[in-house]
Chain A
Amino acid sequence: MMRMRGANWGRKYKVQNYQNGHAYLTSHRVCYVAAEDPRKYSVAIDLKELDRVESQAGFLKSSPKLTIYPKPQKKKPENPRSATASPAVSHQLSLHSTESLAHSSQPNLPQTSASPKPINATWICPICTFSNPVPSNFDPATASAATHLPPCLACGIKPPFTTVLKAAISTATSREPPLPTSAPSPAQAQDIVQSNSSWSVGPGGSTPCPRCTFVNHPSLAECEICGAPLAGGSSGSANRVDSPAPLFEQSHIANTEVSESIKLSFRAGGDKTFYERLKGALVQRKWLLQNAPPVPSPSQASSSPGLSSAVSVESPQPSVQRPTGVGIAGLERRGLEARKKNELVIGNSFEDLEALMASAKQIVALAETLARESGMTTSEGSAETSAVLSESAAALGMVTTKDMLSSGSETLYLSELARDLAEFLTDDRKGILQREGGIMSLIDLWAVFNRSRNGVELASPSDFQKAAELWEKLKLPVRLRRFKSGLLVVQRYDWSDEKTIGKLQDWIGELRRVPPDDPVPWDWSLFGQAITAQEAAHRFKWSVGVAAEELEMAEDKGVLCREEGIEGLRFWYNYMSLSPDSDDFSRLTI
């Protein structure tokens, strides 16, 4: 988005109230926001409506300008042929005044294409003198002798090209505005228009034809006799404020159907950047990918009459009256609006993420091709390619993600994930494994690991397990171990059951030396005390699940035995099989 001061909205004349503001460029629109009263005097045009943009450097006191040409309208309401239900005279007047502004082509500029619709023009057939309309697609600027011309409607003879061209040009020039300060225009045209204005308010509202002087019914757009367009005179030259531009109501801007160009004057600079960006935006055509957010309707529609959303060149949308929300319905609607807005914002931000991801894929693809081109044949070197690729990915500081790599390199993803995990586990700064007493369940690790990825690019459980199974193959300093119950745990490679049992036995020995806090019905110096998984977890900083598994492992080895009671499962030193058989009565005989 660009910010700059000063924008002209209009063609030749400075438009009142649009003289000081900021111009914004978005991916979908060019906007002008007035510095004062922006709710009222702000306009926008969709980029998809733009035909081309021209830049004009500043010269002396003239500020640099950007001229924006919208695409020609397909249908024009004031086209006499299409206007079957012609509007009221007053409306027509306003329309024509707008049109006169819009069509105010500069005579010293050769771009006659700016008025590409000489539809009101007629040419006189040299054979039968019937006045035929110039075809609507006839453009004097581009037309040549090869252009297809329709034959005379009366006699069917094709007209010579020059006749039509002359007629078109003369009509185009005759439509120039009859303003005193404008470039000298043919007096004849002025006369016509002036006579128009004088006739425009005819007696009884009827309209005299400017060509054959037949007085037509006011609702007609064309002369009944000769077919000439009945133009209401341009009456908008009465009041001028600070610029010799016609003063017109805001609603006229809203109805500017035929605004042929928009000029932005950059009084405070920034034109070059804006021009470059605008050109770039027109090339990128982002609006094709995504619908533009709706034009925000001003919150108080009543205070800005006629300038809701209709200033853009597209057909004027009726400003949707914002229904006044009362009660629960109003609250619900407001909630709906807020949700829509949130969706939009979230959608936009994820678009950026996806773009980033797409470029990551490209980088990986590039690395792959580079590796291939550097002499490695694909047959023998897929593993090498993977290695190179993983190295380059590591060099880029990227955490391995599944999306980054194509689906074909599953093994690469898994081995990278395995390495990531091993690094993550053995990192002394984090001390994950130490904090867990040197052993933790795979599920806990999975949770911690995914949490550390901040919720993006999470590793799936199955990938996680597969990666963990690769540790041994990759000779990483961590190992996956499966307990008897199927619980998977992660531990250091030098961890062993004997170490665990040694620790447990030390602990139990301690308990046999220290009398218990409460008197117990058994001989504590002989049996010691029971230990639970919770106590073991607390003592060795294991998780409870791991502690339970380790205790059962020790039981499995015959070191411990269990006691199931109302307190739950408790473990004891295996007095039954490890103590001397002092109480074996079976061999005693009398």
Chain B
Amino acid sequence: MNITLTVNGRSVTADVEPQTLLLDFLRDGLGLTGAKRSCEVQVCGTCTVLVDGGPVSSCTYLAHEADGREVLTVEGFAQLPEFELFEEAFNRHAALQCGYCTPGFLLTIKSLKDAGQLGSEDEIRHGLDGNICRCTGYRAILEAARDIAGVSS
């Protein structure tokens, strides 16, 4: 089936199978490998991308569901001026290690911030509970998120 969507600000038209996952479409079809595959059951958040600004687990979201929508991956986010704030915060706190979960966390934090849902410690913790990081123990990521949100711990 033919779909037309916007990916990182550019219009893309493609012929996809009905069962093609958005994750595979992005990674294999468009070469955007920033979104990662891990749990495949919508638990870990490494495959998170934003669809119309909201976080989506692209491992369990069909490519054709994104037809007519705007998809933002970490590659696109990195081109936006606001990315600098995120990069500084993650660097300041060394909030990444192996880096496999990092794109998912960045996009989740961005969507929460845009939706005004990073206003308190509780909101931050609740909002990030759908992203797993096995390396950092989360504390540094929380600190980075607080900096991005302008919330003190």
Q: Do A and B truly interact?
A: no
Residues of chain A whose beta carbon lies under 8 Å from any beta carbon of chain B: none
Residues of chain B whose beta carbon lies under 8 Å from any beta carbon of chain A: none
